[in-house]
């Protein structure tokens, strides 16, 4: 048996929609020895992860955990625990991930009322209120930062309206948490979820989730059992709560990585981190426009962590992305769904959001688009 690793991967410059680059400290944490999922030391690590997740979500919510799956598992956990057959659910669809929420909600028997907007647009408080006035709903679901379009949704006013009409507000903050302000408690968001591999710069594999007391009451007052066993919060809340009752074996190593990534967020400070994401995004936007490229989302609701660039007429999408990867070691992404072949998606998230990375990308694009 050889004693060296049998395959190697290069250190890519990851400037796509996630995963973002992972700091060496986080990779070192990931490779610490595995201990048992009920070891007192691991229980302490779980508590530390929860404390720091509350910090990045800006919440006091007791039920704040990393779901043991990637971001989409977080989305499904956020939906399946609160939906019972026949529930009215309003979902804003202005991109790929709004569409995914609708697909999931329908599988759990929701009557989905879909609000549509062009990809890249955002929703106004007025249109949400109009929909709620037509007919009450149990849940209103919006994507804070649409990874498919690069649009940033204003949340605070819409939460107030949602509550006025007796509904719960659910927020997807997969591409905003840790890179753009996410204020769960002060905005009043009832349920929010994210992924680890975006602005938190941890490998993919966990989905931070937070649920306030109001939503927890709804969970506890369900008339039917949660249809999904693995994501059933009525059981998971005991494993991550005071009794630590075994539910499933937590992904031990991934929790080490998340703890280290969250410590790095805390050390940097949220405000400094948001300012860094904003500063580098603005440099990127200016540079792209200097190259004559057009950005899809207007500046007033443009997301700092993910930028959609229109692919110029006559330019071969895949060829440019292949050459960026093979000649410059840079990953950017193409468009999803309706945007396939039309846009590039450039992410500057977490440890990827560095001046050297955006400068290199701009220099490489300048050469490749000449």
Least distance between a copy of itself and beta carbon 187 (Å): 26
Least distance between a copy of itself and beta carbon 113 (Å): 19
Residue 111 contacts a copy of itself per CB under 8 A: no
Residue 260 contacts a copy of itself per CB under 8 A: yes
Least distance between a copy of itself and beta carbon 231 (Å): 8
Residue 35 contacts a copy of itself per CB under 8 A: yes
Nearer to a copy of itself (CB atom), residue 198 or residue 216: 198
Nearer to a copy of itself (CB atom), residue 77 or residue 182: 77
Residue 32 contacts a copy of itself per CB under 8 A: yes
Give the 3-state DSSP-derived string for the chain, with helices as H, strands as E and coil as C.
CCCCCCCCCCCCEECCCCCCCCCHHHHHHHCCCCCCCCCHHHHHHHHHHHHHHHHHHCCCCCEEEEECCCHHHHHHHHHHCCCCCCCEEEEEECCHHHHHHHHHHHHCCCEEEEEECCCCCCCCHHHHHHHHHHCCCCEEEEECECCCCCEECCCHHHHHHHHHCCCEEEEECCCCCCCCCCCHHHHCCCEEECCCCCCCCCCCCCEEEEECHHHHHHHHCCCCCCCCCCCCHHHHHHHCCCCCCCCCCCCHHHHHHHHHHHHHHHHHCHHHHHHHHHHHHHHHHHHHHHCCCCECCCHHHECCCEEEEECCCCCCHHHHHHHHHHHHCEECEECCHHHCCCEEEEECCHHHCCHHHHHHHHHHHHHHCC
Residue 6 contacts a copy of itself per CB under 8 A: yes
Give the footprint of a copy of itself on residues 268-307 (CB under 8 A).
268
- Which residue in 50, 68, 81, 149 binds a copy of itself (CB under 8 A)? 68
Least distance between a copy of itself and beta carbon 186 (Å): 27
- Which residue in 93, 104, 171, 309 binds a copy of itself (CB under 8 A)? 104
- Which residue in 113, 163, 238, 263 binds a copy of itself (CB under 8 A)? 263
String marking each residue 339-368 x if it binds a copy of itself according to CB under 8 A:
------------------------------
String marking each residue 235-254 x if it binds a copy of itself according to CB under 8 A:
-----------xxxxxxxxx
- Which residue in 29, 89, 143, 184 binds a copy of itself (CB under 8 A)? 29
Nearer to a copy of itself (CB atom), residue 209 or residue 250: 250
Residue 221 contacts a copy of itself per CB under 8 A: no
């Amino acid at each position: 048996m050889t004693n060296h690793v049998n395959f190697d991967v290069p250190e890519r410059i990851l400037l796509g929609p996630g995963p973002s680059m992972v700091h060496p400290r986080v990779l070192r944490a990931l490779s610490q020895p595995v201990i048992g999922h009920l070891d007192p030391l691991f229980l302490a690590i779980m508590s530390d992860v929860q404390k720091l997740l509350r910090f990045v979500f800006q919440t006091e919510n007791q039920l704040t955990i990393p779901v043991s799956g990637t971001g989409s598992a977080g989305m499904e956990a956020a939906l399946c625990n609160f939906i019972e057959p026949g529930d009215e659910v309003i979902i804003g669809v202005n991109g790929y991930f709004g569409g995914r929420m609708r697909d999931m909600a329908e599988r759990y028997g929701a009557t989905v009322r879909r609000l549509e907007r062009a990809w890249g647009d955002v929703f106004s408080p007025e249109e949400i209120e109009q929909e709620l006035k037509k007919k009450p709903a149990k849940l209103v679901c919006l994507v804070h930062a649409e990874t498919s379009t690069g649009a940033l949704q204003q949340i605070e006013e819409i939460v107030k309206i949602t509550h006025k009409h007796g509904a719960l507000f659910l927020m997807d903050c997969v591409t905003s948490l840790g890179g753009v302000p996410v204020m769960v408690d002060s905005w009043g968001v009832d349920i929010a979820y994210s992924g680890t591999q975006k602005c938190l710069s941890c490998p993919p594999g966990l989905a931070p989730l937070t649920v306030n007391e109001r939503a927890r009451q709804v969970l506890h007052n369900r008339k039917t059992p949660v249809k999904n066993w693995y994501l059933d919060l009525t059981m998971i809340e005991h494993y991550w709560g005071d009794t630590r009752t075994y539910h499933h074996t937590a992904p031990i190593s991934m929790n080490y990585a998340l703890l280290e990534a969250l410590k790095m967020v805390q050390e940097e400070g949220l405000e400094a981190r948001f300012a860094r994401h904003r500063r580098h995004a603005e440099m990127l936007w200016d540079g792209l426009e200097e190259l004559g490229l057009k950005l899809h989302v207007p500046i007033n609701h443009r997301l700092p962590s993910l930028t959609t660039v229109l692919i110029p007429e006559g330019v071969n999408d895949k060829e440019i992305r292949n050459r960026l990867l093979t000649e410059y070691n840079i990953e950017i992404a193409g468009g999803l769904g309706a945007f396939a072949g039309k846009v590039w998606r450039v992410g500057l998230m977490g440890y990827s959001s560095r001046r050297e990375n955006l400068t290199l990308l701009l220099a490489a694009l300048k050469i490749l688009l000449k």
